[in-house]
Amino acid sequence: MRQRVSNHRDGIDLGDNIHGKDGHWYSLYLRLVPCRCDRLNLIGSGPISLNVHTGKVDLTPLGGDWETVCIIGPYAANEMAKDLTGHAVDIVTQSEISSSDGIALLITIDAKDRTTLFDVSRKNLDFISLSGTCWPKGTKFRVPTVGWPVVFNP
């Protein structure tokens, strides 16, 4: 095997020729690029469904390691997410929030400033009235016991 390693100002290239079991040679090429983000961005599991117990919203499906949750409404862009959270979060490609009015986006932020994105259907819970806000863990969100599930914070 002949391994090639080269440094570039924008990353490290790793290359190798591998002889396969089928008798053919294959080239493997990998470029490692340092993150130039101002904060680390992690992506959640996508759409989630939150439960309501006696009018209280259960945020357990968001996981337990976050400290803050930020809420973004439909047709938002990356700039709004950065202004709200202080983090470079790519919501346009990692969520449907920029093109759909059927969801709200919840962004959790943990103690290490990692973010996780969750799409929540407005049919499940409608967070739109709280769009553009961030809340600490432990905040009690409520919904009416009858009618459309509009989330509010008393």
Predicted confidence (pLDDT) per residue in 54-88, tens digit: 888 988 889 889 999 999 999 999 999 999 999 99
Residue 57 lies in a domain: yes
Amino acid letter, residue 44: G
Question: How far apart (Å, rounded) are the C-alpha atoms in residues 115 and 63?
Answer: 12
Of the candidate ranges 38-47, 51-60, 103-112, 113-122, the one whose mean pLDDT is the lowest: 38-47
In a domain, 55, yes or no: yes
Q: Tell me which residue has tokens 């008798």.
A: 23
Split into its structural domains, the chain has a count of: 2
pLDDT band at 6 (very low <50, low <70, confident <90, very high): very low
| 58 in a structural domain | yes
pLDDT for position 153: 81
Q: What's the whole-model pTM score?
A: 0.69
